[in-house]
Structure 1
């Protein structure tokens, strides 16, 4: 693809967006009706502000979903500690709840505007960000082009590129370069990610490591944890978390196979998408398993087979109930899920082979002995059984996982160092004019 064709493609994208813009109301309304949008805040998706812009320098931080929001939370706190105002956008209801819970009083939260010129322009006209910081792999063409046109520095932090995304962008190198040339700096998670962004046309790339290693473990309610641990007692427990379709059936089969050897076995299953819980419960019951759902507010009894974790924001609870965790989207689905939360919370980690989205984390965990990969249901059954029967092996894996997280820390400090050339002018502006008032008209 030539540069001319790439520019034409971006122009066509902009025109298509302009045509579609008047037709998006029903789509956003449908999402609100199904709980995927906050009905009272739908206008934010069109760039209409839900709050006034504060005086002084302002940074726009965008984190698409829960994982990205959690990863950048410590970064956001460090920027806010410099008296720099922050408007933080997310794209999901669950990530908005996380921001309210962990960053209340630190940021102004808004839903990210749709990647259409009217929405993006309206958002930027109101907020006038001095710097835009985007987490991980969010590449929205119209947003990037509009920020570039306004000469607002854009930095991609904790950046990663999956194998699939890299192949897709590599097939259109001119288009990739036309977008990535708008980035002032890419702060990558790993050497592989950094090299990929460089090959695709990013001008300035550095490697800082994974911000997730510098986050706090997922929170939990101590009283709730005590109620569950008292109810479970000394029963053997293992967990399958962040599971995708097919993996819950595998976990249930593993439970049934191991129960004769561990008669009091409890299996905790936490699907990635809680809305699948009704169907999963029916499937488990049809297999003769006794199920307790977290959303029902009932504690597991002595004869409970499956604790179905169908609540939001309680991964910290579920992982604290077991010392063995299978991390999903890795056997019947591809890409993997973040294993570092499980590593932080004292579990021996098992996963399928398809973990390319978290390659660096898994490579480190495997090297240290904190994680093991399984090829199929039989191998998962054997390893879970081995870990249940051999506490010494289980605790060696737990210690290795914890050590791995410690070795991976430091990404936050390195990322802040990479951001300093963009934040320092904002600090200087506050010193020069007393308050750094930047609420003037459009640029």
Structure 2
């Protein structure tokens, strides 16, 4: 591929990364001291103490956060099956993404934290890993890494791209920079038509494929070794899950659980906040509703009189979805605009969601058109939905949709393999 142009905005960005390079370690140190970086692996943010590179061809994949990283697993499994000689490097930025991915990591896959986008770190990272293909997922692009990777002749792909109207409006202000970046990619695939239109508007003439979300074909989340103990403790209980919640979701869920538990003490809400550090805040809200609670992080199991089990741990959603026949997916009652429904679907938990789902608009539209999820708008509709007679049918229809997504993963896998050197 001929080298793409580097316009004034991109040159300015690259110059700024040179100037900021001297301060990069101070920034990393500051974040470490504030607990923002992994206590043992923070040096990876400076491309130090990296894992050994395995022998043979290597695909590097980057996704910024937990949900995006976990969504890569189905694709990695398809690629690994097609090419048993491949190894995979997955990088991410958020601390929690690495911790949870390690518990759900596919075979022949290494996880590292992506270094800051400054020249010395970029060079050290790429010199060490020498990827044969670089794959960027969803929205997160580090311009310096993109430019340096392309300069080395390493093919670039962007997959599962997602860009809503608000994100497009912010990027439009720097359209020449994004045009320069996108034209360095040999293959770009968007989750939906709106994203594809936004990408083409930023870089006229850009070829963009539209594929289904990777999250729809996700591999099942890891189980917990102590599930038999937990299941025994829940004998006779009626558990339901509020997953990846924020304050707006919890207000609705706790109001419903207060009524359900008063009417039937067998009801148990397993409440898994998006940020486990909010556990004490949630406990206060439970007290305000007159609800008893237990903390998973402290090893507490729910007693018969426990109304809410606060699942304030990372990496255990696979356990909660296996235990609960129905789940309310959080982020859907407030400005967050929804979280991923497919992890619950994959483990047979019927999905309920609130009205705010712009981040996963195409996913929820697909589920709703098949009668494979249910919209709840307030506490009253949530309470009704939790007792609906057709929850098993909803879960079954959602599972059928997910099974059909597997073919799209195989097609994407083949397209990426075509980019690799022979």
Matching residue of 2:208: 205
The correspondence for 1:396, drawn from 376, 390, 393, is: 393
Normalised by the length of structure 2, the TM-score is 0.90
Structure 1 residues 275-286: aligned runs within 5 Å: 275-286=277-288
TM-superposed CA distance for 1:54, in Å, is: 4.0
Alpha-carbon contact 1:324-1:387 (below 8 Å) kept: no
TM-superposed CA distance for 1:363, in Å, is: 0.6
Matching residue of 1:371: 373
Matching residue of 1:386: 384
TM-superposed CA distance for 1:105, in Å, is: 5.5
TM-superposed CA distance for 1:34, in Å, is: 4.1
Aligned equivalents of 1:346, 1:125: Cα separation in 2: 44
Matching residue of 2:117: 115
> Do structure 1's residue 324 and structure 2's residue 321 form an aligned pair?
no
Matching residue of 1:13: 13
Alpha-carbon contact 1:335-1:354 (below 8 Å) kept: yes
Aligned equivalents of 2:399, 2:110: Cα separation in 1: 34
Aligned equivalents of 1:398, 1:110: Cα separation in 2: 35
> Kindly tell me: are residues 409 and 239 of structure 1, through their superposed partners in 2, closer, same or farther at Cα, counting changes over 3 Å?
same
1:410 alignment partner, SS class? helix
Query: 1:409-435: per-residue Cα shift (whole Å, max 9, x none)?
Result: 322101112113212x2xx3xxxxxxx
Matching residue of 1:224: 226
Matching residue of 2:61: 61
The correspondence for 1:422, drawn from 404, 407, 419, is: 419
Aligned equivalents of 1:203, 1:303: Cα separation in 2: 59
| Unpaired segments ≥5 residues, structure 2 | 1-5
> Kindly tell me: are residues 168 and 195 of structure 1, through their superposed partners in 2, closer, same or farther at Cα, counting changes over 3 Å?
same
Alpha-carbon contact 2:115-2:122 (below 8 Å) kept: yes
Aligned equivalents of 1:74, 1:334: Cα separation in 2: 25
Matching residue of 2:22: 22
| Unpaired segments ≥5 residues, structure 1 | 1-5, 429-443
Aligned equivalents of 2:129, 2:202: Cα separation in 1: 30
Query: 1:160-210: per-residue Cα shift (whole Å, max 9, x none)?
Result: 223321222234332321221111111222333333323322733222322
> Do structure 1's residue 243 and structure 2's residue 240 form an aligned pair?
no
Alpha-carbon contact 2:68-2:138 (below 8 Å) kept: yes
Aligned equivalents of 1:99, 1:374: Cα separation in 2: 31
RMSD: 2.4
The correspondence for 1:164, drawn from 157, 163, 166, is: 166
Matching residue of 2:41: 41
The correspondence for 1:298, drawn from 300, 304, 312, is: 300
Matching residue of 1:264: 266
Alpha-carbon contact 2:104-2:222 (below 8 Å) kept: no
Query: 1:140-165: per-residue Cα shift (whole Å, max 9, x none)?
Result: 12111222333321101222223321
Q: How many residues align?
A: 414
Alpha-carbon contact 1:210-1:411 (below 8 Å) kept: no
Matching residue of 1:189: 191
Matching residue of 1:138: 140
TM-superposed CA distance for 1:362, in Å, is: 0.3
Aligned equivalents of 2:145, 2:321: Cα separation in 1: 37
Alpha-carbon contact 1:331-1:353 (below 8 Å) kept: yes
Matching residue of 2:3: none
2:312 alignment partner, SS class? coil
Matching residue of 1:31: 31
Normalised by the length of structure 1, the TM-score is 0.86
Matching residue of 1:76: 76
Matching residue of 2:126: 124
